[in-house]
Amino acid sequence: MNKDKRKLIKMSLEGVRIEMPSQKPIILLKEAEGNRYLPIWIGAFEATAIALEVSKIKTPRPMTHDLMSNILKKLGCTIKNIEICDIKDNTFYAFINIKNMKTDHMEIDSRPSDAIALAVRCTCDIYAAEHVVQSAGLEIQSIEDEVEKFKDFLDHISPEDFKEEDK
Amino acid sequence: MNKDKRKLIKMSLEGVRIEMPSQKPIILLKEAEGNRYLPIWIGAFEATAIALEVSKIKTPRPMTHDLMSNILKKLGCTIKNIEICDIKDNTFYAFINIKNMKTDHMEIDSRPSDAIALAVRCTCDIYAAEHVVQSAGLEIQSIEDEVEKFKDFLDHISPEDFKEEDK
Please write the tens of the pLDDT for every residue from B9-58: 999 999 888 766 777 899 999 999 999 999 999 998 999 999 999 999 99
Given this model, what pLDDT does residue A166 score? 47
Q: pLDDT tier at B5 (50, 70, 90 boundaries)?
A: low
Min distance A140 CA to chain B CA atoms (Å): 31
pLDDT at position A165 over 60? no
Count of Cβ atoms closer than 10 Å to residue B1 Cβ: 9
Pick the CATH number of B3-156 from 3.90.1150.10, 3.10.690.10, 3.40.50.300, 3.40.190.10: 3.10.690.10
Is some CB atom of chain A closer than 8 A to the CB atom of B135?
A: no
What is the β-pairing status of strands A24-31 and A8-19? antiparallel
Nearest CB among B59, B62, B109 relative to A110 is that of B62
Collapsed DSSP state (helix, strand, coil) of residue B151 = helix
Q: What is the mean pLDDT of chain A?
A: 86
| CB A164 within 8 Å of CB A41 | yes
Rounded Cα distance between B116 and B46, Å, is 9
Rounded Cα distance between B148 and B145, Å, is 5
With b for 16 or more beta-carbon neighbours within 10 A and e for fewer, the B126-151 pattern comes to bbbbeebbeebbbebeeeeeeeebbe
* Phi–psi pair at A133, nearest 5 degrees: -65, -40
pLDDT at position A3 over 70? no
Comparing A67 with B143, which gets the higher pLDDT? A67
Closest C-alpha to B138, from B126, B118, B153, B121? B153
Nearest CB among B63, B75, B114 relative to A100 is that of B75
Burial class (CB in 10 A: 0-12, 13-18, 19+), A13: middle
Given this model, what pLDDT does residue B149 score? 67
| CB B125 within 8 Å of CB B116 | no
Given this model, what pLDDT does residue B161 score? 56
Comparing A151 with A60, which gets the higher pLDDT? A60
Given this model, what pLDDT does residue A13 score? 95
A146-157 mean pLDDT: 66
Given this model, what pLDDT does residue B80 score? 96
Given this model, what pLDDT does residue B49 score? 93
pLDDT at position A167 over 50? no
* Domains of chain B by residue range: 3-156
How many angstroms from the chain centroid is the CA of residue A137?
13
pLDDT digits (tens, 9 = 90+) for B123-136: 999 999 999 999 99
Comparing A21 with B45, which gets the higher pLDDT? B45
Alpha helices in chain B (DSSP H): 44-54, 64-74, 112-122, 130-136, 143-156
B64-76 mean pLDDT: 95
Is some CB atom of chain B closer than 8 A to the CB atom of A108?
A: yes
| CB A107 within 8 Å of CB A94 | no
Min distance B86 CA to chain A CA atoms (Å): 13
pLDDT at position A146 over 60? yes
Q: pLDDT tier at A118 (50, 70, 90 boundaries)?
A: very high
Q: pLDDT tier at B4 (50, 70, 90 boundaries)?
A: very low
A70-89 mean pLDDT: 95
Is some CB atom of chain A closer than 8 A to the CB atom of B60?
A: yes
pLDDT at position A45 over 80? yes
A112-122 and A64-74 helices, crossing angle to 10°: 60
Subunit contact B114:A64, Cβ cutoff 8 A? yes
Given this model, what pLDDT does residue A104 score? 76
Non-local CB neighbours of B126 within 8 Å, separated by 6+ positions: B10, B11, B12, B13, B29, B81, B82, B83, B84, B116, B119
Rounded Cα distance between A131 and A38, Å, is 12
| CB A74 within 8 Å of CB A66 | no
pLDDT at position B119 over 60? yes
| CB B113 within 8 Å of CB B44 | no
| CB B40 within 8 Å of CB B27 | yes
pLDDT at position A4 over 50? no
